[in-house]
């Protein structure tokens, strides 16, 4: 009996070790391919890309499939990338990084990592095309899956095929791109998969990325007092999160010029009101470009006369009596220092998965206009509060979440609130799925 128990314990220990090793191996990796073409955009010949049994099939005239999904608003600088690839006889393809969508032609920006086992092109799988080529002898075989790994950190590029390094290259300071390829240099951009020609048939699956640079969040404040230092502790202590405060002195000047925008997520904790038509358009363009949005607490009362804003965040706190969508609303009400019971109503959503119902000492709001298509995550039964206190919006270009909680230091210090805030940012950045 004792011997059986010892054997059983040994088996359990081995199983646990294997699970931990797998968990460690997958930590930080984010899938870019869910078995559909969601989150991808094809160029000139979209029919060159299809999905069969959860596998991406590349076969047809020249075309390129660009990732344009929510992960880091499809713009990567430092990262690790992996995919399983299978070529067939005489086929050619490629994986691009630091590129950007263009409607036709070969991508002008970024690098191509070659996929070619037996195509007539002498430059084979695992090469950094026209920069560091793998000539003649491919490290892959047709009709067999192989793992394609790319790592870019700073100006250093590593490519591995089935764990074997084929490229280890650092872009020199005096680097000159190959002739006719001025955009082939280290920068920032998306991932693309090449459809090379009608005779080429190549398969891809398990496409994933691991960003190496932190999520860059800009936290917008202004128009409402708050406890500054305790609030900003919410964003501290995370290796994967980097933030800056944008305290608005002219209500919305952050959105005056977005030409050098470099943030993955906007966190709104402002209650400022004025936003010009130009700033409105820039704000909406950022969201359309995939920048995530997390709005907190009194941001519900910001930009109270901008109709699109209430649709963007899914709510409005009426600052005065008004009609919204034909219904009369009185001025919203609030009360500080309330003990609230919070119920998790969607336990499968990445923001709330694994969280239990909790209590929080916070400010309550009531009399809010809510969009009918909000996806509700959290509710409360407090009699002086509206029922809904956290929701996401049904968007296609980016991710938007509103967390109504978070008035003061008592709320900021609540561990469940802190967890919700950082999860919301990670989800809005596309890092949490």
Rg (CA), the chain: 25
Q: Where in the chain is the domain with CATH 2.60.120.560?
A: 28-211
What does the pLDDT read at residue 416?
98
How far is residue 59 from each of residues 46, 97, 196, 198, 413, measured CA to CA in Å?
A: 10, 21, 8, 6, 54
Question: Please, what are the averages of pLDDT over each run of 10 residues along the chain (433 residues)?
Answer: 44 40 65 96 97 98 96 95 98 98 97 98 98 98 98 98 98 96 97 98 98 97 98 97 97 97 97 98 96 98 97 98 96 98 98 98 98 98 98 94 98 98 97 91
- Tell me: domain 215-428, CATH 3.40.50.880, correct? yes
What does the pLDDT read at residue 25?
54
Q: Where in the chain is the domain with CATH 3.40.50.880?
A: 215-428
Asked whether the CA dihedral 138, 164, 72, 188 is positive or negative, the reply is negative
Nearest to 91, CA basis, from 192, 197, 194, 166: 197
User: Which helix or strand (DSSP H or E) is residue 288 part of?
Assistant: helix 277-288
User: What is the CATH number that goes with domain 28-211?
Assistant: 2.60.120.560
CA distance 81 to 152: 9
What letters, b where the CB count within 10 A reaches 16 and e where it falls short, cover 337-368? ebebebebbbeebbbbeebeebebbbbbbbeb
What does the pLDDT read at residue 6?
41
* Residues of the chain by 3-state class (helix, strand, coil), percent to 5: 20, 40, 40
What does the pLDDT read at residue 27?
81
User: Using one digit for the tens of pLDDT, what is the confidence trace for 340-377?
Assistant: 999 999 999 999 999 999 999 999 999 999 999 999 99
CA distance 177 to 74: 24
What does the pLDDT read at residue 396?
85
Query: What dihedral angle (degrees, nearest 10) is formed by the CA atoms of 346, 348, 354, 360?
Result: -20
Nearest to 288, CA basis, from 149, 399, 422, 133: 399
CA distance 394 to 375: 7
DSSP-assigned beta bridge partners for residue 91: none
């Amino acid at each position: 009996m004792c011997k059986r128990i010892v054997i059983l314990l040994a088996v359990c220990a081995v199983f646990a070790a294997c699970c931990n090793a797998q968990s460690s191996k997958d930590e930080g990796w984010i899938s870019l391919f869910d078995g559909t073409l969601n989150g991808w955009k094809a160029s000139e010949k979209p029919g060159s890309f299809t999905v069969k049994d959860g596998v991406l099939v590349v076969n047809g005239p020249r075309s390129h499939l660009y990732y344009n999904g929510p992960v880091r608003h499809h713009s990567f600088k430092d990262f690790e990338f992996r995919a399983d690839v299978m070529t067939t006889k005489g086929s050619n393809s490629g994986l691009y990084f630091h590129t950007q969508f263009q409607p036709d032609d070969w991508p002008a920006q970024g690098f191509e990592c070659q996929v070619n086992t037996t195509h007539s092109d002498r430059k084979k799988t695992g090469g950094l095309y026209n920069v560091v080529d793998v000539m003649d002898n491919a490290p892959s075989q047709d009709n067999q899956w192989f793992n394609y790994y790319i790592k870019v950190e700073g100006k250093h590029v590593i490519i591995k095929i089935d764990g074997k390094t084929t490229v280890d290259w650092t872009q020199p300071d005096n680097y000159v791109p190959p002739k006719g390829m001025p955009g082939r240099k280290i920068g920032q951009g998306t991932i693309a998969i090449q459809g090379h020609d009608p005779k080429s048939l190549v398969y891809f699956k398990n496409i994933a990325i691991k960003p190496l640079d932190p999520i860059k969040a800009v936290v917008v404040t202004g128009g409402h007092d708050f406890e500054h230092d305790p609030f900003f502790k919410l964003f501290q202590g995370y290796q994967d999160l980097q933030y800056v405060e944008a305290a608005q002195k002219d209500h919305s000047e952050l959105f005056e010029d977005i030409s050098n925008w470099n943030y993955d997520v906007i966190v709104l904790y402002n209650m400022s009101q004025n936003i010009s038509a130009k700033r409105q358009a820039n704000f909406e363009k950022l969201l359309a470009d995939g920048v995530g949005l997390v709005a907190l607490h009194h941001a519900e009362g910001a930009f109270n006369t901008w109709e699109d804003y209430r649709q963007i965040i899914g709510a409005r706190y009426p600052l005065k009596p008004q009609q919204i969508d034909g219904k009369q609303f009185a001025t919203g009400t609030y009360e500080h220092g309330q003990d609230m019971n919070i119920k998790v109503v969607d336990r499968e959503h990445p923001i709330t998965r694994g969280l239990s119902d909790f209590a929080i000492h916070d400010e309550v709001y009531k009399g809010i206009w809510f969009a009918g298509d909000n996806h509700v995550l959290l509710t409360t039964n407090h009699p002086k509060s509206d029922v809904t206190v956290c929701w996401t919006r049904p968007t296609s270009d980016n991710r938007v979440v509103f967390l109504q909680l978070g008035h003061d230091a008592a709320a900021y210090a609540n561990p469940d609130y802190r967890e919700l805030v950082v999860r919301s940012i990670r989800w809005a950045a596309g890092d949490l799925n």
